[in-house]
Structure 1
Amino acid sequence: MITHNVLQGSPEWDALRFKSFTASEAPVMMAMSSKMTRNDLLRMKATGTEREYSDWVQRNLFDKGHEYEAAARTILERIIGEELYPTVGTDEETGLLASFDGITMLGDAIYEHKMWNEALADATRANELPPEYFWQLEQQLLVSNADRAMFVVSDGTEENFVMMEYRPVPGRAQQLLAGWKQFAEDLQAYQPAEPELVVVGRAPENLPALRIEVTGMVTASNLREFKNHALAVIGSINRNLVTDQDFADAEKAVKWCGEVESRLAAAKQHALSQTASIDELFRTLDEISGEARATRLEVDKLVKAQKDVRRSEILTAAQHALANHVATLNKRIVPAVLPALDVNFALAMKGKRTITTLQDAADSELAKGKIQANDLADKITANLSTIRATGYAFLFADIATLAHKAPDDLQLLIAARIDTHEKDEAARLEAEREKIRKEETAKLESAAKEQQERDAAAATAQIQSDAMRTGGDPASLVPHVPSNTSVPAYQGLDFSATPSQSVTASAACAGYTRSLSGSAETATLRLGQINERLSPITLTADGLTTLGFTHSATDKAAKLYRESEFPSICAALIRHIDLAHAAHANAADTTEPVIA
């Protein structure tokens, strides 16, 4: 907190407050103040005007309030055993301002005083502080970084002294900051409106006094002039009601028309008391009275109807403004959408009598909705970024729903899905490798068998050919191969052997029994060890990758493979050599059989 060396109530203090968002203004900004509206605060901040107070208010509220505050501070210091220092401070990060009635030397506790009233004292005793007061404390605690606030209601005496301890409520500081952020945006877009005036209805023009004298007949009367003037005034009554002034004038006109009816009735009665029947007089009076009555009823209904129209217009405009704001945010958080907001314009406007109070209630509820929508959109945006940063977007097809989860719950779900996927993928890859191994072994065995048959046939043909040339017995030249001849192990393979021997060796490698297998096997066989076993043949990691074997781990620069993969490496290498040899033999079009 940055402290300011200014005296509370001084011009320097007023100047500092004007350019800052203060703690005492927090309830007003949150539309929770009974003393000022949010629109009033916007106007004051935008225009630099301050509300003026009478000398009575200054003496009996503000001056007495400071007097009670000082006396109560002394009482509180005795209770807690510490001194309290009035301070003005600004939060370095947010720029929010707070004026403290007192703060401890260590800054761990603050003091806030309010003048005595029974309702607030009861709420303090019950530890149920209304929003009109706790938003100020939340900002003071945010600015000071204190642990607690000592909220006191008193008149400076120990008899009327009630105190409660208030601590920050989780989530309220974030709501406060979001509220000031929206207020700053509204202040930036503020357009000065017509100054608010105390609306007093004006009755239509007063009619001249109606004079009638009769002596069995009308002897003197200004009835015609009165009629013309009265009907003209009645006809001029405004029926197009838009502003608070229009509604006030109309309500006044309703009362005025009623008074005209009463006066005409009285004049008629006075005339009747002087004569039994004067037809023209009665018809004229009835005509004027009827017109006044019809206008009274018309304007009275119009007032009620037009108020409902203006109420609906204000409500609809606020709903559209919020819907547009939500639509803008939804574009930012695609594919997610904002949920329904806790906003009720009709309820906020309920009980408001004037156009000004209706508009203020709608604007305050609109600001509340925007704050709520912005907060939700920020949380959803953060969740979307978290999901997309995993690199496993395909695991989260339900991202639009997951974006609404609490961040901690989302992290747990992401970790679980990725873990499950990696296990499934490892199992799938191992199954594919095993399938490839089996297919390669089967191919090698089949190729070996075919090659043996071809070699045997070629050898027999050669022997028979030699026997025919020498005249000997062909059967005596067929070599005898014992049935229990074992296949040599891979360690003894001669890679310079003929294709027949190579294929036989391939089968030997393919049939090598592995003691370790599966994805749980630790990779320990180094590339160098593989080359030692295959000497003088030398392989590289890229060469093994070409043969279908990728290292499973690394140790510094060394590439590590599973021990169980070595036989398959041998088999793949031999098959590669066989294929190269066969390709070369075909290219040379060699028809001379090779004897094993």
Structure 2
Amino acid sequence: MKIHNVAQGTPEWHALRANYHTASEAPAMMGDSKQMKRTELLHAKKTGLDRDISWWVQKYLFDKGHDSEARARPILEARIGEDLFPVVGTEGDLLASLDGCTMLGEILFEHKMWNEQLAADVRAGDLDAHYYWQLEQQLLVSGAEKVIFVCSDGTEENFVSMEYFPVPGRAEKLVAGWKQFEADLETYEPVEAIPEAVGTAPETLPALRIEVTGMVTASNLEQFKARSLAVIGAINTDLQTDQHFADADKTVKWCGEVESKLAAAKQHALSQTESIDLLFRTIDQISEQTRTKRLELEKLVKARKVAIRDEIVTKAQAALRSHIDQINASLGGRVLLPQVSSDFAGAIKGKKSIASLRDAAESELARAKIDASQKADAIRLNLASLAELAVDHNFLFNDIQQLVMKANDDLVTLIKVRIDEHKKAEEDRLEKQRQQIREEEAKKLADAESAKLAEQNKAAEEAASALSASTPMSKPQSAARVSTVAPSAKVPPKPMKLEAQVTDLEALVKAVYEGRAPISVLTVHWGALDDLVHIHGEAFSMDGVVLQQVAA
């Protein structure tokens, strides 16, 4: 926080505030202020003109509030055992004027004038948004741990306090709110402030005078009729502005009064005579005209009010859709914003004037835009994490629409887990493939070796047969005599030894190929090999064997 050496309330302080978003304006910016509408804040910021402050408000509210604050400060200092210093500080484009701050800056003091409702809220530890947005900005600007919120009149008797700590998510929403406020301020066009309309009824009709003595002896009925119908015909039924609506409401009441007066005049005439047809028909005609106009106006007022409300809601909904469409376009088309809730009908409920209807709708629109922008920022952060961590593994994240809605920390963890699992599965697949290739190659080698050995054995047999055919048969040796005598117990048995016997030549060749047995276990049958060379001559060919000339 950057501390500014200006005293609160001075011209220098006002000049500094004009260049920042202040904490006291935060509730109005968020549409939660009880004292200023969001549109009023936009107007003040755009024009640079503050709302007029009457001498009564200055003397009995502002000045009295500062006096109560000054007397409450030592009470709180005594309770916490630390001095509190007024501070004006900024952080970025945000400003906070602190009623008090401890020397180390970990505790803030905010004072509000005593009122029973606020005191009850403080006792319950539940502050309205009208107050907590200011506290959130103070904490954000100062970096303090907490604010001690005091409601008092500067006396020990009327002094209540509570500790307010930052609420997770509110600071981010506040920053997004100011960002949206700046965007709205760029496009805001000041409109003329129109005072609340006060309706006026049509001009007063002349008093209807009737005297009868069995017949009408004196009456201004014809003049009354002409004037009444002229006034009724001039009543405006094209309702567009607040003034029109106020006039219409007043006219409806006026029409009712005219009907009542005509009925009274008729009753007065009846009390003087039993039947005067012309008198009654004229009165009935005027009364019916008045009643018809009243009913017409009532319907028009009701219908136009509904139409204006619908127009305001429809316009706000269209503005929100446009804002969401712009955000979706900025997200690159891969993902879309989730549903952004809005309740424009609820926001304008209970509002009477057109100005209040529009302000309520615009405040709800700003809230929804802030919500949408916050969600978009979170999605952009997640998209950036995906682009950084999963640049070569996009195919693993086809559910990106669901993934970008997660908290960023959770998403980063999920990305790493998915990629690690994929790499392990891929390594297992490749190892299995390599093992299969090794086995196939070993089998091929064993088959080839078996075929070679078979061919060698066949050639050796053929060579041996040819050799035996050309060699004289030798005298057969006598068969060895077999003794049937059991070995003597006195003669020690002949020592025994282990001897290897090849039962699966293919398996042995495979073991040599894989390095599990030395190649020396495979002995070359040189005689058989030479016989094959002798038979085939220079046409002899065998893998791993070459021909060379030697002395005969």
Q: Name the TM tier (shorter chain).
A: 0.7 to 0.9
Residue 556 (structure 1) aligns with: none
Deviation at 1:302, TM superposition (A): 2.0
Partner Cα separation in structure 2 for residue 448 and residue 81 of structure 1 = 96
Residue 363 (structure 1) aligns with: 362
Deviation at 1:459, TM superposition (A): 7.9
Residue 201 (structure 1) aligns with: 199
**1:48 to 1:213, Cα distance in 2 relative to 1, 3 A:** farther
**1:130 to 1:512, Cα distance in 2 relative to 1, 3 A:** same
Deviation at 1:127, TM superposition (A): 1.5
Residue 49 (structure 1) aligns with: 49
- Percent identity at matched positions? 55
Partner Cα separation in structure 1 for residue 7 and residue 515 of structure 2 = 92
**1:591 to 1:332, Cα distance in 2 relative to 1, 3 A:** farther
Residue 336 (structure 1) aligns with: 335
**1:285 to 1:104, Cα distance in 2 relative to 1, 3 A:** same
Deviation at 1:250, TM superposition (A): 0.8
Deviation at 1:187, TM superposition (A): 0.9
Partner Cα separation in structure 1 for residue 501 and residue 347 of structure 2 = 98
2:352 counterpart of 1:353: yes
Deviation at 1:224, TM superposition (A): 3.3
Residue 258 (structure 1) aligns with: 256
Residue 525 (structure 1) aligns with: none
How many aligned positions are there?
A: 498
Deviation at 1:365, TM superposition (A): 1.1
Assess if the C-alpha contact under 8 Å between 2:196 and 2:242 holds in 1.
no
SS where residue 110 of structure 2 aligns? Answer: strand
Residue 426 (structure 1) aligns with: 427
Q: Could you tell me which runs of 5 or more consecutive residues in structure 2 were left unpaired when the two chains were aligned.
A: 475-499, 520-536, 546-552
Correspondence for 1:105 among 103, 128, 143:
103
2:295 counterpart of 1:292: no
Q: Could you tell me which runs of 5 or more consecutive residues in structure 1 were left unpaired when the two chains were aligned.
A: 477-483, 487-502, 515-565, 568-589
Assess if the C-alpha contact under 8 Å between 2:148 and 2:163 holds in 1.
yes
Deviation at 1:25, TM superposition (A): 0.8
SS where residue 97 of structure 1 aligns? Answer: strand
Assess if the C-alpha contact under 8 Å between 1:101 and 1:111 holds in 2.
yes
Letter in 2 for 1:284: T
Deviation at 1:453, TM superposition (A): 5.3
Assess if the C-alpha contact under 8 Å between 2:86 and 2:101 holds in 1.
yes
2:516 counterpart of 1:513: yes
Partner Cα separation in structure 2 for residue 161 and residue 153 of structure 1 = 6
Residue 162 (structure 1) aligns with: 160
Assess if the C-alpha contact under 8 Å between 2:443 and 2:510 holds in 1.
no
Partner Cα separation in structure 2 for residue 357 and residue 407 of structure 1 = 40
Deviation at 1:229, TM superposition (A): 2.8
1:6-85 matches, cutoff 5 A: 6-85=6-85
State the Cα deviation string for residues 455-510 of structure 1 (Å, max 9, x = none): 67778889999x8xxx956999xxxxxxx999xxxxxxxxxxxxxxxx9x987742
Partner Cα separation in structure 2 for residue 205 and residue 341 of structure 1 = 51
Partner Cα separation in structure 2 for residue 139 and residue 261 of structure 1 = 59
Residue 409 (structure 2) aligns with: 408
Letter in 2 for 1:360: D
Partner Cα separation in structure 1 for residue 169 and residue 349 of structure 2 = 28
Letter in 2 for 1:593: F
Partner Cα separation in structure 2 for residue 85 and residue 594 of structure 1 = 103
Assess if the C-alpha contact under 8 Å between 1:464 and 1:474 holds in 2.
no
Residue 532 (structure 2) aligns with: none
Letter in 1 for 2:95: L
**1:113 to 1:511, Cα distance in 2 relative to 1, 3 A:** closer
1:406-555 matches, cutoff 5 A: 406-452=407-453, 472=470, 509-510=512-513, 512-513=515-516
1:228-307 matches, cutoff 5 A: 228-272=226-270, 277-307=275-305
Letter in 1 for 2:160: V
Partner Cα separation in structure 1 for residue 282 and residue 112 of structure 2 = 66
State the Cα deviation string for residues 134-180 of structure 1 (Å, max 9, x = none): 11111111111112212111111111111112121121111111111
TM-score, normalisation: structure 1: 0.76
Partner Cα separation in structure 2 for residue 37 and residue 266 of structure 1 = 48
Assess if the C-alpha contact under 8 Å between 1:24 and 1:136 holds in 2.
yes
Deviation at 1:57, TM superposition (A): 1.7
SS where residue 347 of structure 2 aligns? Answer: helix
Residue 227 (structure 1) aligns with: 225
**1:109 to 1:485, Cα distance in 2 relative to 1, 3 A:** closer
Bigger CA radius of gyration:
2
Residue 376 (structure 2) aligns with: 377
Partner Cα separation in structure 2 for residue 187 and residue 168 of structure 1 = 28
TM-score, normalisation: structure 2: 0.81
Residue 571 (structure 1) aligns with: none
Residue 492 (structure 1) aligns with: none
Partner Cα separation in structure 1 for residue 293 and residue 139 of structure 2 = 60
Deviation at 1:190, TM superposition (A): 0.7
Residue 392 (structure 1) aligns with: 393
Letter in 2 for 1:124: V
Assess if the C-alpha contact under 8 Å between 1:69 and 1:114 holds in 2.
yes
Deviation at 1:221, TM superposition (A): 4.7
Assess if the C-alpha contact under 8 Å between 1:154 and 1:160 holds in 2.
yes
Letter in 2 for 1:513: R
Deviation at 1:85, TM superposition (A): 1.9
Partner Cα separation in structure 1 for residue 456 and residue 510 of structure 2 = 16
Residue 539 (structure 2) aligns with: 592
Deviation at 1:48, TM superposition (A): 1.7
Assess if the C-alpha contact under 8 Å between 2:46 and 2:188 holds in 1.
yes
Partner Cα separation in structure 2 for residue 508 and residue 265 of structure 1 = 123
